[in-house]
């Protein structure tokens, strides 16, 4: 019999990894194709979408470059395509983690599907009704108090809104994603608690990158909800998480003393 070598170990590990990568690529292609189909449909209604977007700002939007209105229509159509594709995105995510769940846990598909969709829509509504009007009114009022007339370009205005809406829509999925990952054993609540301060740092960095102006006011408006959602995810991981499998070390350190009792019994029999 041939000796076991590192090459043989690699041959045993790589095929499952390749299957996972291939599965991820296939599902990403499905999601990308779905987004493109909805993008074509939404682009024909881009004028209506822009008119709906400018509700927090009473004046008319303007554009400075010849193609600025076109790129604004593309951005807002892309946002609408992602929103319409959320059911497919959630479905592909569920089908990817489904094999790691028990049969009774796989029955959660429909409730979790609607829960994920509800969280995403809740993030959009929260951002559209609370965050965006607050941010836009703050900056417009700040300029008008200094005798500056607000004339917002459609491209920058749409870019500002799209980034906020997408960030909050997907951010509201954090508790559900962390709970699912804890359920399948990918993460544990103790680990999430341990990396809490790093998560807060990541939230601040993401807020600085996503927000168009990167001012402290807008950064905090985005970072604080992200941190709160991460904390909710920790509680979800505690409640729905799967207990870690015992390792040989923990089995040997079992305080119940069952293993030591069996050893003593064997010695007495001997």
**Is the per-residue pLDDT at 29 higher than 90?**
yes
Number of alpha carbons in the 13 Å side-chain half-sphere of residue 158: 27
Nearest to 82 by CA among 125, 130, 120: 120
Q: Return the domain boundaries, the chain.
A: 21-163, 173-243
**Is the per-residue pLDDT at 250 higher than 70?**
no
**Is the per-residue pLDDT at 211 higher than 90?**
no
What is the pTM for the complete model shown?
0.67
User: Would you say 178 and 192 are in contact if contact means Cβ atoms under 8 Å apart?
Assistant: yes
Number of alpha carbons in the 13 Å side-chain half-sphere of residue 138: 12
Cα distances from 14 to residues 18, 20, 22, 226, in angstroms, run 6, 10, 12, 36
Q: How far apart are CA 233 and CA 154, in angstroms?
A: 36
What is the reported pLDDT for 16?
Answer: 67
In eight-state DSSP terms, residue 251 is: H
Which of 47-56, 223-232, 239-248 shows the lowest per-residue confidence on average (mean pLDDT)? 239-248
Which of 199-203, 215-219, 235-239, 258-262 shows the lowest per-residue confidence on average (mean pLDDT)? 258-262
Q: Mind listing the pLDDT tens digit for each residue in 31-74?
A: 999 999 999 999 999 888 888 877 777 777 888 888 888 888 99
What is the reported pLDDT for 213?
Answer: 63
Q: Which residues contact 247 (CB under 8 A, 6 or more apart)?
A: none
Q: Which residues contact 77 (CB under 8 A, 6 or more apart)?
A: 39, 42, 43, 45, 46, 49
What is the reported pLDDT for 34?
Answer: 94
**Is the per-residue pLDDT at 22 higher than 90?**
no
Q: Mind listing the pLDDT tens digit for each residue in 114-166?
A: 888 888 889 988 888 888 888 888 888 888 888 888 888 888 888 888 888 88
Q: Mind listing the pLDDT tens digit for each residue in 153-167?
A: 888 888 888 888 888
Q: How far apart are CA 43 and CA 47, in angstroms?
A: 8
What is the reported pLDDT for 10?
Answer: 46
Q: Which two tokens stand for residue 199?
A: 């998560």
Q: How far apart are CA 243 and CA 148, in angstroms?
A: 59
Nearest to 225 by CA among 103, 96, 134: 134
Mean pLDDT of 178-203: 86
Say which residue, 11 or 106, is predicted with more confidence.
106
């Amino acid at each position: 019999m041939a000796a076991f070598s590192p090459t043989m170990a690699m041959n045993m590990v790589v095929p499952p990894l390749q299957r996972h990568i291939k599965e991820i690529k296939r599902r990403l292609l499905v999601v990308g194709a779905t987004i493109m189909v909805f993008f074509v449909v939404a682009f024909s209604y881009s004028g209506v979408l822009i008119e709906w977007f400018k509700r927090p700002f009473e004046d008319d939007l303007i554009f400075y470059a010849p193609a600025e209105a076109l790129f604004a229509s593309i951005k807002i159509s892309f946002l609408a395509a992602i929103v319409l594709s959320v059911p497919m995105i959630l479905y592909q995510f569920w089908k990817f983690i489904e094999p790691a769940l028990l049969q009774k846990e796989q029955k959660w598909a429909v409730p979790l599907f609607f829960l994920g969709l509800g969280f995403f829509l809740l993030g959009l509504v929260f951002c559209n009704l609370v965050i965006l009007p607050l941010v836009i009114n703050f900056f417009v009022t700040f300029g008008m108090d200094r005798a500056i007339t607000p004339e917002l370009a459609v491209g920058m205005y749409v870019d500002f809104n799209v980034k906020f809406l997408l960030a909050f829509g997907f951010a509201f999925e954090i508790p559900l994603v962390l709970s699912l990952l804890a359920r399948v054993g990918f993460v544990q609540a103790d680990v999430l608690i341990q990396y809490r301060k790093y998560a807060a740092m990541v939230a601040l960095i993401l807020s600085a990158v996503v927000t168009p102006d990167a001012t402290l006011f807008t950064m905090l408006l985005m970072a604080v909800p992200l941190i709160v959602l991460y904390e909710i995810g920790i509680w979800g991981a505690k409640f729905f998480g799967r207990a870690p499998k015992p390792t040989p070390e923990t089995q040997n350190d079992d305080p119940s003393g069952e293993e030591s009792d069996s050893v003593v019994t064997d010695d007495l029999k001997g």
